């Protein structure tokens, strides 16, 4: 059903049925935009109250539904701020929550930083207060916060995927936009992600378009850099070269599955079959049986997925070895502009004792 809807959204399905679905989705987009604008207006008019917190707030968000690299960017910013000897609290909604209390956005444990903590809750204002009171946070990172108006922020960082910057230009559910591109005017800095997967002429046009839409906001460019392979069955790590020339069955439940596939191929993996599941997918035992059966049919040596997906799987339920690819964000252009914004923010808004510790 998901693949059919994506084909309809992007004009790959035709006929009476597809036209009827597109008409229904277009009506849904009108309703979505109306409700979204009313929600924003309520905060602008003071009918709904936003919270001003005593520490700096950096929001990381995007314009489209998933897959632009928010989570790796949050991890990157957490490391960078922690390197300034600040106590960093990440405020997340906690999508894909599991019975064991975890969720599929939690990657911070791999950072190994004692001065970084994550607080996941539907009420992120309450989570922010708890982070300040219990963790003594010096700075807050609001994960997926561009459409969240309850908490006032000091810096809006907005990601734009260079391989699919504005989807088909339509709002949900007719397209994948959560905000119109004009919303970039609210950004403090725009981070173009996966710039290594787009040709330079397209990047040039995208830079120009973002600059025009946003009012010449600073633009930073980033890539998703594979850093290691986790061998899930024995909880060990291997270098990225582990995937090279291996026959692997790859799968994931990410917002941009094709980008994950291209990353694997760039590492030299031989992908015998690739299967994409919906973003934040919760794998059932039957799914794992089908994955393994298909992998054996294509004579795969093993299975590989993303870290976000691997944390939801039980390797004991599989006979083939399971690995996950660790990917971190690397800024390749404009990092100094982001550094300058963070320095100004910490100097002007951080508590005196945190600022003096720098």
CATH number given to 225-328? 3.40.50
* Rounded Cα–Cα distance for residues 292 and 64 (Å): 32
Q: What is the DSSP string of 297-337?
A: HTT-SEEEEEHHHHTT--GGG-SS-EEEEEEEEEEEE-HHH
pLDDT of residue 245: 81
Q: Is the pLDDT of residue 356 over 50?
A: no
Which residue's structure tokens are 């106590």?
87
Q: Kindly indicate the confidence band of residue 357, based on its pLDDT and cuts at 50, 70 and 90.
A: very low
Q: Kindly indicate the confidence band of residue 125, based on its pLDDT and cuts at 50, 70 and 90.
A: very high
* Rounded Cα–Cα distance for residues 324 and 250 (Å): 10
% the chain with pLDDT above 90: 73
The reply to whether 57-218+334-356 and 225-328 are identical in fold is yes
pLDDT of residue 351: 58
Both tokens of 267, joined, read: 């590492």
What is the residue extent of each domain of the chain? Answer: 2-44, 57-218+334-356, 225-328
pTM: 0.90
Among 1.10.10.10, 3.40.50.300, 1.10.8.620, 3.40.50.720, what is the CATH number of 57-218+334-356? 3.40.50.300
Q: What is the pLDDT of residues 229-257, one digit of tens each?
A: 999 988 899 999 999 989 999 999 998 89
Q: How far is CA 27 from each of CA 10, 23, 39, 205, rounded to the nearest angstrom?
A: 16, 6, 19, 31
pLDDT of residue 50: 93
* Rounded Cα–Cα distance for residues 244 and 323 (Å): 13
pLDDT of residue 350: 61
Exposed / middle / buried, residue 233 (Cβ in 10 Å: 0-12, 13-18, 19+):
middle
Q: Is the pLDDT of residue 66 over 60?
A: yes
């Amino acid at each position: 059903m998901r693949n059919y809807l994506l084909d309809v959204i992007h004009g790959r399905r035709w006929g009476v049925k597809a036209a009827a679905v597109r008409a229904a989705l277009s009506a849904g987009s009108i309703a979505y935009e109306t409700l979204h604008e009313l929600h924003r207006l309520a905060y602008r008019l003071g009918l709904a109250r936003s919270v001003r917190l005593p520490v700096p707030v950096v929001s990381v968000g995007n314009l489209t539904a998933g897959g632009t690299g928010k989570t790796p960017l949050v991890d990157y910013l957490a490391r960078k701020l922690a390197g300034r000897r600040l106590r960093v609290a990440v405020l997340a909604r906690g999508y894909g929550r599991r019975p064991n209390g975890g969720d599929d956005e939690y990657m911070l444990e791999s950072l190994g930083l004692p001065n970084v903590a994550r607080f996941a809750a539907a009420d992120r204002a309450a989570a922010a207060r708890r982070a300040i009171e219990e963790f003594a946070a010096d700075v807050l990172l609001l994960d997926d916060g561009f459409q969240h108006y309850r908490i006032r922020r000091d810096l809006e960082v907005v990601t734009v995927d260079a391989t699919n910057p504005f989807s088909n230009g339509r709002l949900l559910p007719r397209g994948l936009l959560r905000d119109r591109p004009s919303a970039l005017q609210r950004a403090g800095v725009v981070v173009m992600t996966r710039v290594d997967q787009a040709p330079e002429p397209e990047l040039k046009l995208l830079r120009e378009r973002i600059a025009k839409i946003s009012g010449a906001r600073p633009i930073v460019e980033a890539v998703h850099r594979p850093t290691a392979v986790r061998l899930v069955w024995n909880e060990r790590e291997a270098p990225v070269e582990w995937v090279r020339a291996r026959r692997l069955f790859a799968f994931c439940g990410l917002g941009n599955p094709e980008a994950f596939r291209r990353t694997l191929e760039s590492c030299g993996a031989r992908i015998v079959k690739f299967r994409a599941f919906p973003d934040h997918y919760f794998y059932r035992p039957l799914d794992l049986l089908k994955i393994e059966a298909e992998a054996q049919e294509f004579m795969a040596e093993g299975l590989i997925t993303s870290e976000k997906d691997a944390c939801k799987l039980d390797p004991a339920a599989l006979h083939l070895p399971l690995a996950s690819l660790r990917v971190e964000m690397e800024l390749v252009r404009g990092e100094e502009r982001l550094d300058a914004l963070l320095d100004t923010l910490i100097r002007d808004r951080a508590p005196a004792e945190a600022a003096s510790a720098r």
